[in-house]
Structure 1
Amino acid sequence: MPELQLLRPDHAPALLVFERENRAYFAASIPDRGDAFFARFDEVHRARLAEQAAGICYFHVLVDAAGEVLGRINLVDVADGSADLGYRIAERATGRGLATSAVREICRLAATDYGLTALRAAASLRNAASRAVLTRTGFTVTGETVLSGRPALTYLRTLDAAPDHPTGRPVGP
C-alpha cells in the first residue's frame, strides 16, 4: 500500500519524474506548472522545503514500495487554523482509491499533527474525479470560483475530534 510521506530533500528525483511524466495529464484539468517550474525544479524544491520548515505549508508525497511518487497532497497557506488542500495523482495510479485514502489521511494529519480546524479546496467543473474525492472525504461545496479561466467550485471541511470518520464528524449519539 502506498505511504503518505512529508516532503524531504531526497524525494526530489522521484518527484521530478512524477511531474514530468504526468504534465500533460494534469494540464487537462488543473493549471500547468509551466516550463520555469521544470527548468528550476531543484530551486523550487528547496523553496518548498523552506516553506514547510517555516510552518507555512505542509507538502506530502504518496510513494509506493519502490519509492516511486504516485501523488502529491499538499496543505498550503496555513494560517489561523486552516489551510488550502491541493492534490494530484499520477495517471497510471488513478481509479484505485488512492486520492480518497490520501485526502482522508491528510485530513487526519491536519487535525492531529498540524493542529488545523478547517481545510479549503477548489476543483474545476471539468475535474469530476477531484470533485468526487472531495465529496467522499467530507468536504462541502461553499461557492463558485474560477481556476485558470475555468469555472470551479470551492469546498470546505471542518476538522474535529473524529478526523478518521469519512464525514469528519463524531460517530454515535
Structure 2
Amino acid sequence: MPELQSLRADHAPALLAFELENRAYFAASIPDRGDEYFARFGERHRALLAEQEAGTCYFHVLVDPAGEVLGRVNLVDVADGGADLGYRIAERATGRGLATWGVREVCRRAAGTYGLTTLRAAAAVRNAASRAVLARTGFTVTGETVLSGRPALTYLRTLDTTTDRPAGAPPSS
C-alpha cells in the first residue's frame, strides 16, 4: 500500500522522475509545466518546502514501498481556513483508487492537522476521472470556470475539524 508523506527535501529525485515520466500524460489533461520547471526543479523544490514551512501550502506525495512517487496531493493558497486542492497520479497507477484514497487522506489532514474548514478544487469538464474523484470524496459543484482555455467546474468541500475527518465521512474502522 502506498503511503501519503509530507513533501521533504529527500523526495526531490523521485518527484522529478515522476514528473518527467508522466509529463506527456499530464499534459493531455492539464497545462504542461514547461521546460523551465524541469530545468530549475531543484530551486522550485526548495521554494515549495519554504512555502510549506511558512504554512501557506501543504504538499504531499504518494510513495510506494520502494520510495517511488506515484502521485501528488497538494493544498495551496492556504488562508482564512481554506485551501485549493490539486492532485496528479502517475499514468501507471491510475484506475486503482489511488487518487480517491489520497484526496481522502489529505482531507483528513486538512481538517485534523492543518485546522482547515474548506477546500476548493476545479476540474476540466473533459477530465471525467478527476471530476469522479472529487464527487467520491465529498466535493460538490459550485460553479463553472475556465482552466487553460477549457471549460471547467469549481468544487467545494466543507471539513469537520472537531472529529478529525471530513464532514459526513463514516468513522474509520
Under TM normalisation by the shorter chain, which class is it?
over 0.9
Show the counterpart of 2:19: 19
SS at match of 1:71: strand
Cα distance in 2 for partners of 1:4, 1:20 equals: 20
Counterpart mapping for 1:8-157 below 5 A = 8-157=8-157
Tell me which residue corresponds to 2:168: 169
Cα deviation code 1:83-139 (max 9, x no counterpart): 000000000000000000000000000000000000000000111000000000000
Using the TM superposition, give the Cα deviation of residue 170 of structure 1 relative to its aligned residue in structure 2, in angstroms. 6.2
Describe the superposition over 1:134-161 as per-residue Cα deviations: whole angstroms up to 9, x where unpaired: 0000000000000001100000000014
Q: Is the 8 A contact 1:61 1:73 kept in 2?
A: yes
By how many angstroms is 1:31 displaced? 1.2
The structural deviation recorded for 1:171 is 5.7
Give the TM-score normalised by structure 1: 0.95
What SS does structure 2 have at the residue aligned with 1:43?
A: helix
Q: TM-score of the superposition, structure 2-length normalised?
A: 0.95
**Unpaired stretches in structure 1, ≥5 consecutive residues:** none
How many residues are matched?
A: 170
Q: Distance in 1 between matches of 2:9 and 2:66?
A: 17
Please state whether the residue corresponding to 1:152 is helix, strand or coil. strand
Amino acid at match of 2:86: G
Q: Distance in 2 between matches of 1:112 and 1:141?
A: 24
Question: Could you tell me whether the CA contact under 8 Å between 2:4 and 2:60 is conserved in 1?
Answer: yes
Where in structure 2 are there 5+ consecutive unaligned residues? none
